[in-house]
Chain A
Amino acid sequence: MTSKGKTIPVLTIVTVIVVIWYVCVVWMNAQFVYDQAERAKVEPPAFSQLVVTTMSQDRPVLPAPHQVGQELWKTTVGKKITSKRSLVYHAWITLSATLLGFIIGTALGIALAVGIVHNRAMDKSVMPWVITSQTIPILAIAPMIIVVLNAVGISGLLPKALISTYLSFFPIVVGMVKGLRSPDAAQLDLMHTYHASAAQTFWKLRWPSSMPYLFTSLKIAVAISLVGAIVGELPTGAVAGLGARMLAGSYYGQTIQIWSALFMAAALAALLVMCVGLAQSFVLRRMGEKPA
């Protein structure tokens, strides 16, 4: 019902963006056409010719939407998914690191939050470190993680996944500390009057109370897990994955390839967030949530 009412606004915005994009394509790629005309000592083309030329360059400054679309089609549907030239293959490489990192990050985040809520020493000491960890640029720390782990013989999927973990545990810790502390004083007092153990209070009260917070955090965490996996592929000379695709594209000026990898990453992120959203509505409905 609500999605029906959204179609027209969403399509309108998409149309506006595509129009602006095309205008920018002409404007940004025109310089190249002028430069070429000058080098060839011929008159610059007329405007109608200019528009056509700016949209069909091999290595445009800004590729046109239909060029990106064609490239996406060619590298997903047009290639076998086992091919090194298939974007689906590269997306899967990145996705596997994303998911592994996301799972480890979620487990780590929940474990830290449980510790912070139940242990006074951890409550006082852990949070500043958690926050500090996020002030270090991931680009600076990513190569170190890869190198250090390589030195101890760990390579492949795990180092990339750990970079995802490094980013994704943070929203989980913050959200879950708040979620596990969300029961009000009367509910906690009630548990006290029943002489409930800490474990009983956790499973019967704190954990279910934290579910809405957990899912909000999971949505953020899964999206930045993907960012982490892509960043993990950039500085490390990875040969496969969306990050590697973008890097290779930038080495050889293959802007169309960069943009199609970019769109693939965005689609992947949207898909992941949507999956978490579906899990959220499923779980909360099972928990008797009042329908909106």
Chain B
Amino acid sequence: MTVVSASNLSLTFETNDGPVHALKDVDLSVEQGDFVSFIGPSGCGKTTFLRVIADLEQPTGGSISVNGMTPQEARMKRAYGYVFQAASLLPWRTIEKNIAVPLEIMGLSKSDQRVRIDRVLGLVDLANFGKKYPWQLSGGMQQRASIARALAFDADLLLMDEPFGALDEIVRDHLNEQLLELWARTNKTICFVTHSIPEAVYLSTKIVVMSPRPGRVTDVIESTLPKERPLEIRESTEFLKIAHRVREGLRAGHSYDE
């Protein structure tokens, strides 16, 4: 089943310096259960594309559907969970109260909230931290809490905008491993924005290489790596081959010339 389907999608921002083509003629489809990474330099439109799926930006041309609906309908049905680069936890709420925010908004009963909170805290390995305030947690733990919040209302689609971009590499490796595990266990569809080639190759079943000015898709790579991926897989020739193709794709987009 196709979860996200975009055809000829364009988005132009009108600025004082003239129009900026954030997205131009993007054709793409994301299938149920895919882990799709969007990679490219700043300004290539990868975040914009994610925000269009989430109905946080309005396209100026072409069409896009999410679960067969418009992005707005999908948003109103809470079809996706969104994870930002910053954890964006509310500092006056404990971790479990933070996870409860979307559940409260959706009007779930207290007991139902409790069950969901415990389940997602377990999923991200924070079972004993529910009563802590965000400032009592490390950056990596805060980001895990924000992932738990996005998982709490059982959306099948997870949109992640550079969720580990602000974390150091050791923590990032660890979270990448956990994310793959989570993805395998929950069978979600994940759209993941990154600017790290190893991260994209390690995580994805499908890598979308993008380039800027105008923001467009230059290559779509179907990963040949197995679903089971230990961290060591990053030293295999198969992995390096895919990473090489991603790098070539980025170079072809002239993204390193500017």
Could you give, for residues 88-108 of chain B, a 1 whenever the CB lies within 8 Å of some chain A CB and a 0 otherwise? Answer: 101111100000011011100
Task: Evaluate whether A193 and B135 lie within 8 angstroms (CB atoms) in the complex, with A200-B105, A204-B101, A288-B92 already known.
Answer: no
Asked if B183 is at the interface of the complex by the 8 Å CB criterion, the answer is: no
Chain B residues within 8 Å of A211, by CB: 92
Asked if B54 is at the interface of the complex by the 8 Å CB criterion, the answer is: yes
Chain A residues within 8 Å of B105, by CB: 191, 194-196, 200, 204
Name the residue on A nearest B81 (C-beta).
A193
Asked if B76 is at the interface of the complex by the 8 Å CB criterion, the answer is: yes
Chain B residues within 8 Å of A194, by CB: 78, 101-102, 105-106
Residues of A172-196 whose CB lies within 8 A of B: 184, 186-187, 189-196
Task: Evaluate whether A187 and B88 lie within 8 angstroms (CB atoms) in the complex, with A193-B56, A193-B82, A195-B105 already known.
Answer: yes
Asked if B75 is at the interface of the complex by the 8 Å CB criterion, the answer is: yes
User: Which secondary structure characterizes the binding site on chain A?
Assistant: helix
Q: Are the C-beta atoms of B88 and A190 separated by less than 8 Å?
A: yes
19 more CB-based (< 8 A) A-B contacts, given A196-B105, A289-B92: A184-B88, A186-B88, A190-B82, A190-B84, A192-B55, A193-B54, A193-B55, A193-B81, A194-B105, A194-B106, A195-B75, A195-B78, A200-B105, A204-B101, A208-B92, A288-B91, A288-B92, A288-B94, A289-B91
Residues of B within 8 A of A (CB): 54-56, 75-76, 78, 80-82, 84-86, 88, 90-94, 101-102, 104-106, 133, 135
Q: How far is the CA of A163 from the CA of B135 in the complex (A)?
A: 43
CB distance from A291 to the nearest CB of B (A): 10
Name the residue on B nearest A201 (C-beta).
B105
Report how many A-B pairs have Cβ atoms within 8 Å: 56
Name the residue on B nearest A191 (C-beta).
B105
Asked if A205 is at the interface of the complex by the 8 Å CB criterion, the answer is: yes
Chain A residues within 8 Å of B101, by CB: 194, 204
CB distance from B105 to the nearest CB of A (A): 5
Q: How far is the CA of A186 from the CA of B86 in the complex (A)?
A: 8
Q: Are the C-beta atoms of A189 and B94 separated by less than 8 Å?
A: no
CB distance from A200 to the nearest CB of B (A): 5
Give the contact-size bracket for chain A: 20 to 34
CB distance from B110 to the nearest CB of A (A): 16
Name the residue on A nearest B97 (C-beta).
A288
Q: How far is the CA of A189 from the CA of B104 in the complex (A)?
A: 17
Contact of B84 among A189, A195, A289 (CB under 8 A): A189
Q: How far is the CA of A287 from the CA of B135 in the complex (A)?
A: 12
Q: Are the C-beta atoms of A288 and B54 separated by less than 8 Å?
A: no
Q: Can you list 20 A-B contacts (CB < 8 A)? A: A184-B86, A184-B88, A187-B90, A189-B54, A190-B88, A192-B56, A194-B106, A195-B78, A195-B105, A196-B105, A200-B105, A204-B101, A205-B90, A208-B90, A208-B92, A287-B91, A288-B93, A288-B94, A288-B133, A289-B91
Q: Are the C-beta atoms of A193 and B80 separated by less than 8 Å?
A: yes
Asked if A290 is at the interface of the complex by the 8 Å CB criterion, the answer is: yes
